[in-house]
Amino acid sequence: MNISQYQTWIDEIVALCKPSRVHLCDGSEEEYDRIAALMVKQHTLIPLKKRPSSFWCHSDPDDVARVEECTFICSEQKIDAGPTNNWCAPREMHERLKTLFSGCMQGRTMYVVPYCMGPIGSPYSKIGIEITDSPYVVLNMKIMTRMGMPILQGRSGGFVPGVHSVGVPLKPHQQDVPWPCNPKQRMIAHFPDESSIWSFGSGYGGNALLGKKCFALRIASVLARKEGWLAEHMLILGITNPQGQKKYMVAAFPSACGKTNLAMLTPTLPGWKVECVGDDIAWLHFGADGRLYAINPEAGYFGVAPGTSMKTNPNAMQTIRKNTLFTNVARTLDGDVWWEGIGQEAPPGLISWLGGPWDPKKGPAAHPNARFTAPSSQNPIYDPEAENPQGVPISAVIFGGRRGSVIPLIYESFHWQHGVFLGASVSSEMTAAAKGKIGTLRHDPFAMLPFCGYNMGDYFAHWLEMGKRSKGLPRIYYVNWFRKGADGQYLWPGFGENVRVLKWIFERTSNLASAEQSPIGYLPAALDLSGLDVDLREILRVDLADWQREVQELTSYFQLFKDRMPSALLEELRGLKQRLSL
Ligand code: SAT
Ligand code: MN
C-alpha cells in the first residue's frame, strides 16, 4: 500500500513525540483482538464473561467527560471563533503544543489510525488520520468509524490530521497505570484554517476519539459552511406509518438528553415503526431534487449507559450484547455490567466504576456519564438505508433540550427563518456529559454550543442562507420531553410514547394533522393519546409571563454575538415579543 503521501506527516509526529514503536492500524478484527488482549494483560480491560467479545474498563476519576474549558478553536482572528468558544492564536497554540507533545509518547506505541467518516464511497464522506498513543482510543475508533489502512488506498484527496496523546511518557521499565491521563495539562485544540486537531492529556471519548466531536462537528462545521452543507449534533431516524409510508427526521438535543433513546425508539402506537440511521451526528447536503439528505458520519454508538434498560431502550440493550466496550459502568461478580436504571436490583458484590467494591453511601455504582461503545450494525432496527452513500431525505428537523418548565411538549415553526430562530433559542439543563454544574440552565443553540468550530453568529447566518437555497426544505419543530408539573413530576412519560409526537410531526409534514396558532408557533390541535393518561392542556400550555421572561433572556443572550447576530433572528425575536404582548 502506498502511504507515502501521508508519510511525511507521520514522520514529523514520530520525531516530535518520540514513541518507542509505531503501529499502522489495518482495522482488522485480528488487530482489534490483539490490542484488546494486550490491554487485558495490562489490566486496563476486563473481559465480560456474560457478553461475547466485550470488555469493561474504568477511567481515572478525573477523566470522565468532555472538558469544554480546555477546548480551543484557533482561528487566525479571535472574532472568528466567536464569543462561545475558547480562542488562542494559532501560532501561540502551536508553540504550546510543541512543548506539550515533545517526547510525550516515550515508552509507548504510537498508533496510526486512518478512518473514514461516512459510508465508504459516499461523495459526502471524509477521511481523517488520528495518531494516538492510547490503545483504548484505537479500539473505540474501530467501532465508531470505518477504520484501517485500506481506506487510504487509491485516495489522493486531503485528510484531517489529528494527534492525540494521553500525555504520560514512560521511563524505561516504568510500570504503566490502567488509565494514563494528564488532567492538569489537558488541551483540545482545533485549527480550522488547517483542518487539524491536537488533543493532549485525556483518554475520554469526546476528548480523545478525534473523529467524533473534534472532526465530525467542530472541523466539519467549518468545512460545511465553506462548502454549503451542514454538520450537526443530530440523530437521524426513519419512521414508517401503519400504511407503510416512510419519512426521515433529524433531531438535535444537547449531550445526554435522550438522542440515543429517540433514535432507537420502540413505538407504543400499533403499526408504527422507527428505524435508526444515527444517534449523534448528521451531515446534511442538498440533493439534486432540492431536498435535504442526511448521512451519519459514524459507524457506532458512544451512548450513555445509566438509565438504559429494556423498558427505556430495548434496541440499545440488544445492540450492546456483544462486541461492546463499557467505560465507567459497574461490573458484577459473574462478569456482566450494571448501572443505575438498568431495570434490575444491584446484585451483591458489585464493583463500582471506581474499580472497588461499591459502597452506595459514596455515590452511584456507575458514573452518570458512563458509556457503551457498540457497532451500529448490531442494532436490530439499523435502517436499511443507513449506508446509502447519498443519504436519506429529511422531512423534519427537531430541536429540543431538557427544560423542567416553560417549553411545551411540541410546537412547529411558522417557516424556515422562524425555525432557525427556534434552533438558536435552545437552552438546556446541564448533564454529566461535560464537566460543569449539573442542572444549571444554559443556552445551547442548535445543541452545538460545545461543537461549533466558528463564530456561532455566523453559524446562524449559514443556517438562514441554507434556507434560501432550496424549495424542498424540511419543517422545523421544537420538543421538550422534560416539562414538570406543580408536583415536580414529569408531565410526559417519554421514551416509546414519544412516537405520539413523531406521529403528529409525520402527519403535519403530509398536511394531514391540524394545528392551532400560538404566539410561539403552531401547537397540535390534538395528539393521539389513546390509552395514555396525560394532561395535554398543561403540557402544551404557553404561559405568557414565562415566555416574556424567556424573550428577555434571549434578548440579552443574542447581544453576545454583537454585529455577527443576523438581523433576521432579531426580527424573529421582535415578532415573538409582539405576539406575546397582544
Ligand atoms: O463528547 S462525547 O462524544 O464524549 C459525548 C457527548 O457529549 O455527546
Ligand atoms: Mn453528542
CATH code of the domain containing 467: 3.90.228.20
Check whether residue 412 and residue 354 sit in a common domain. Answer: no
Give the single-character DSSP code of 347.
P
Is-contact 330 353, C-beta < 8 A?
yes
Q: Residue 400 CB: number of other CB atoms within 10 A?
A: 26
Q: Which residue has the cell 435508526?
A: 276
Check whether residue 363 and residue 471 sit in a common domain. Answer: no
Last residue of a domain, one of 227, 258, 281: 227
Would you say the pTM of this structure is higher than 0.75?
A: yes
Check whether residue 280 and residue 305 sit in a common domain. Answer: no
**Set of cell numbers at residue 388:** 446509502
Domain that holds residue 332: 301-378
Which residue ranges have their beta carbon within 6 Å of ligand 1? 66, 205-206, 212-213, 255, 302, 433
Q: 223 alpha carbon to ligand 2 midpoint, in Å?
A: 19
Check whether residue 446 and residue 566 sit in a common domain. Answer: yes
pLDDT value of residue 352: 98
pLDDT value of residue 1: 47
To test the pocket of ligand 1, the residue of 186, 302, 449 to mutate (highest count of ligand atoms within 8 Å of its CB) is 302
Please give the positions annotated as active site: 257
pLDDT value of residue 438: 86
The three-state secondary structure class of 15 is: helix
Check whether residue 271 and residue 390 sit in a common domain. Answer: yes
Provide the residue-wise pLDDT of the chain in tens; the chain has 582 residues.
457 779 999 999 999 999 999 999 999 999 999 999 999 999 999 999 999 999 999 999 999 999 999 999 999 999 999 999 999 999 999 999 999 999 999 999 999 999 999 999 999 999 999 999 999 999 999 999 999 988 998 787 799 999 999 999 999 999 999 999 999 999 999 999 999 999 999 999 999 999 999 999 999 999 999 999 999 999 999 999 999 999 999 999 998 899 999 999 999 999 999 999 999 999 999 999 999 999 999 999 999 999 999 999 999 999 999 999 999 999 999 999 999 999 999 999 999 999 999 999 999 999 999 999 999 999 999 999 999 999 999 999 999 999 999 999 999 999 999 999 999 999 999 888 888 888 889 999 999 999 999 999 999 999 999 999 888 899 999 999 999 999 999 999 999 999 999 999 999 999 999 999 999 999 999 999 999 999 999 999 999 999 999 999 999 999 999 999 999 999 999 999 999 997
Is-contact 151 183, C-beta < 8 A?
no
Q: How far apart are CA 197 and CA 219, in angstroms?
A: 8
Who surrounds ion ligand 2 at CB < 5 A? 255, 280
Is-contact 500 274, C-beta < 8 A?
no
Last residue of a domain, one of 378, 393, 412: 378
Q: 433 alpha carbon to ligand 1 midpoint, in Å?
A: 6
Check whether residue 268 and residue 413 sit in a common domain. Answer: yes
Q: 206 alpha carbon to ligand 1 midpoint, in Å?
A: 5
Please identify, by atom number, the ligand 1 atom nearest to the C-alpha of residue 233.
8
pLDDT value of residue 2: 57
Check whether residue 404 and residue 267 sit in a common domain. Answer: yes
DSSP 280-295: S-EEEEE-TTSBEEEE
To test the pocket of ligand 1, the residue of 233, 280, 402, 452 to mutate (highest count of ligand atoms within 8 Å of its CB) is 280
Please identify, by atom number, the ligand 1 atom nearest to the C-alpha of residue 204.
4
Number of domains in the chain: 3
DSSP 116-141: EESSTT-TT-EEEEEEES-HHHHHHH
Residue owning the nearest CA to atom 1 of ligand 1: 206
Q: 90 alpha carbon to ligand 1 midpoint, in Å?
A: 25
Check whether residue 212 and residue 283 sit in a common domain. Answer: no
Please identify, by atom number, the ligand 1 atom nearest to the C-alpha of residue 369.
5
Check whether residue 215 and residue 334 sit in a common domain. Answer: no
Q: Residue 61 CB: number of other CB atoms within 10 A?
A: 13
Check whether residue 350 and residue 402 sit in a common domain. Answer: no
Q: Is 575 within a domain?
A: yes
Q: Is 436 within a domain?
A: yes
What separation in angstroms does the CA of 66 have from each of 296, 385, 483? 21, 31, 26
Q: Is 160 within a domain?
A: yes
Q: Is 51 within a domain?
A: no
Residue owning the nearest CA to atom 6 of ligand 1: 255
Check whether residue 26 and residue 131 sit in a common domain. Answer: yes
CATH number of the domain residue 69 falls in: 3.40.449.10
Check whether residue 340 and residue 416 sit in a common domain. Answer: no
Please identify, by atom number, the ligand 1 atom nearest to the C-alpha of residue 433.
7
Bridge partners for 197 per DSSP: 162, 190
Q: Is 52 within a domain?
A: no
CATH number of the domain residue 374 falls in: 2.170.8.10
Nearest to 84 by CA among 446, 403, 435, 451: 451
To test the pocket of ligand 1, the residue of 213, 298, 430 to mutate (highest count of ligand atoms within 8 Å of its CB) is 213
Q: 437 alpha carbon to ligand 1 midpoint, in Å?
A: 16
From the CA of 371, which ligand is nearest?
1
Last residue of a domain, one of 178, 194, 227: 227
pLDDT value of residue 4: 76
Q: Is 54 within a domain?
A: no
Q: Is 544 within a domain?
A: yes
Q: Which helix (H) or strand (E) holds 207?
A: helix 205-208
**Set of cell numbers at residue 323:** 462486541
Residue owning the nearest CA to atom 4 of ligand 1: 206
Q: Quick one: how far is CA 286 from the chain centroid?
A: 22
Q: Which residue has the cell 488487530?
A: 31
Q: 254 alpha carbon to ligand 2 midpoint, in Å?
A: 7
Q: Is 53 within a domain?
A: no
